């Protein structure tokens, strides 16, 4: 009992000894002046809500939003930008937009053609989407009977020593041949595909001569090959 009392006395003496605690602020400074407290309230409500244009409130969360269908007005705007440039003044663009909007209606572009033309990035792609809409750009296409020969030329220039890679490449090459037969390869794209050195990367290295829609179709085909 005496030993415990001595320990308590020693602890008390130590606690009271030494210099006073250092204050970060002067007395009275840095302290909450409000008797009700200075805590910051935490709100559970979200800080940001997308606008009605960015999110359809009627659609369930996570549901895919429907793609807006391109109209002849969209076609006119898009093709006019290709012809006179994105930086043309409104006065310069307006008559060109009117011309191509009227041509869209006259040539009776269907939904798929309108979408394709509105998304086209160059004149070749526009002509590929709808030749009758863009007759000034005449495209030549590879005959389906030529595709097996093109595929063989690609095969002769590119392969892999690794069996698994080689098997995958053969499946991709078969898909390239089907694309050639079914997707209307332009002569320019076919020439690039059969002569380029990087034979295993035809879509990527020949993209510069591929109409937008053809390139998209090729990418979709190759992505499905496992």
- Residue 132 confidence (pLDDT) above 50: yes
Confidence tier at 66 by pLDDT (50, 70, 90)? low
For residues 118 and 179, membership in a common domain is answered with no
Does residue 100 belong to any structural domain of this protein?
yes
* The pLDDT value given to residue 158: 74
For residues 160 and 120, membership in a common domain is answered with no
**The pTM of the whole model exceeds 0.85:** no
Structural domain total, the chain: 2
Does residue 45 belong to any structural domain of this protein?
no
What average pLDDT does this structure show over 55-76? 72
Does residue 161 belong to any structural domain of this protein?
yes
For residues 198 and 170, membership in a common domain is answered with yes
Least confident of 4-8, 65-69, 71-75, 80-84: 4-8
Confidence tier at 209 by pLDDT (50, 70, 90)? very high
- Which has the higher per-residue pLDDT, 10 or 36? 36
- Residue finishing a domain among 129, 163, 194: 129
What gap in Å lies between CA 72 and CA 70, rounded to an integer?
7
Residue 141 sits at φ, ψ, to 5 deg, of -120, 150
Strand ranges (DSSP E) for 110-186?
none
Domain range for 102 is 72-129
What gap in Å lies between CA 122 and CA 120, rounded to an integer?
6
SS3 216: helix
For residues 152 and 204, membership in a common domain is answered with yes
For residues 186 and 213, membership in a common domain is answered with yes
């Amino acid at each position: 009992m005496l030993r415990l009392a001595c320990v308590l006395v020693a602890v008390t003496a130590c606690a009271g000894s030494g210099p006073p605690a250092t204050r970060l602020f002067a007395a009275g400074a840095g302290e909450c002046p409000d008797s009700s407290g200075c805590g910051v309230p935490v709100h559970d409500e979200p800080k940001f809500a997308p606008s009605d244009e960015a999110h359809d409130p009627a659609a369930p969360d996570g549901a895919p939003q429907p793609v807006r269908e391109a109209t002849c007005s969209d076609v006119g705007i898009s093709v006019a930008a290709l012809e006179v440039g994105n930086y043309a003044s409104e006065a310069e663009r307006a008559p060109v937009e009117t011309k191509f909007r009227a041509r869209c209606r006259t040539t009776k572009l269907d939904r798929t053609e309108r979408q394709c033309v509105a998304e086209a990035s160059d004149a070749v792609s526009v002509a590929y989407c709808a030749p009758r809409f863009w007759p000034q750009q005449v495209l030549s296409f590879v005959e389906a009977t030529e595709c097996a020969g093109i595929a063989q030329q690609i095969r002769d220039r590119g392969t892999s020593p690794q069996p698994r890679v080689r098997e995958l490449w053969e499946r991709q090459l078969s898909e390239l041949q089907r694309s050639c037969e079914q997707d209307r390869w332009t002569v320019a794209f076919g020439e690039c595909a059969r002569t380029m050195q990087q034979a295993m990367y035809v879509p990527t290295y020949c993209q510069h001569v591929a109409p937008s829609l053809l390139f998209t179709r090729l990418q979709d085909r190759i992505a499905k090959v496992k």
